[in-house]
Structure 1
Amino acid sequence: MSAEDEPLSDWYARRAGRRRATGTRDAITLAPGPRRGAHVFRDAPRLVVEWDGFAWQPVGVAENYAQAHLLIARAGTAAALPQSDAPVPLLRKGTGRHRKPDPAG
């Protein structure tokens, strides 16, 4: 093995550190058009999926963004807080310049 080659165990450790963790969950908006940010179409139903190490597997369907958050955060279990890799920030109001002003306020 030359000096430029790295041991296979080092390469595998780097690769494993970059891979998505098994059990990671996400929610996909079931609305027409391309996939958009979670704050768009808040009342649209969501498909909640979980990464099994090889592919995304369906977990359930939520009626809206708030219910999808509960499935992603696994509310009711010991891990009630959102995962570190969950869509962040969940359910945040936000004040970004791209947001339309609230017509009621």
Structure 2
Amino acid sequence: MDDEPLAEWAKRRDERIGRLRAVPLVSGDGPKASRLNPDCPRAIQRWNGYTWEPHGTAASLAEAQRLLHPRDERPSAAPEPQPLRAGRGRHRKSRPRE
């Protein structure tokens, strides 16, 4: 088995610190997939490098998604038009005539 150096492993672990996840708060051994219970509350957990710790709560899957993946609130600028470059392009190649 190839062992990676401890420094590389620690670097990978530290990159994930602060990552959030949402866990459905359902009782029993029922299914815990988020798509099955979109209206049940969620516990928001944060990775501290060693374990997942409580970070907050969300009332539903939609609210949890907004917390986990916030959108950029700044309005985006209109994309610049890209003029066609000279040339025929690969999709316009003519086939050799026989």
Normalising by structure 1, we get a TM-score of 0.54
Read off the aligned partner of 1:27 and give its amino acid letter.
A
Q: Is the 8 A contact 2:43 2:58 kept in 1?
A: yes
- Percent sequence identity is 30
Q: Is the 8 A contact 2:45 2:55 kept in 1?
A: yes
| Structure label with greater radius of gyration | 2
> CA 1:66 to 1:36, structure 2 compared with 1: closer, same or farther past 3 Å?
same
**Corresponding residue for 1:98?**
none
Which residue among 39, 62, 69 is the counterpart of 1:66? 62
The offset of 1:76, in angstroms, is: 6.0
The offset of 1:55, in angstroms, is: 1.9
**Corresponding residue for 1:16?**
10
Read off the aligned partner of 1:11 and give its amino acid letter.
P
Q: 1:76-91 to 2 correspondence within 5 Å? A: none
CA distance in 2, matches of 1:15, 1:48: 26
C-alpha RMSD of matched pairs (Å) = 2.8
**Corresponding residue for 1:36?**
32
Structure 2 unaligned segments of length 5 or more: list them.
74-98
> CA 1:12 to 1:77, structure 2 compared with 1: closer, same or farther past 3 Å?
farther
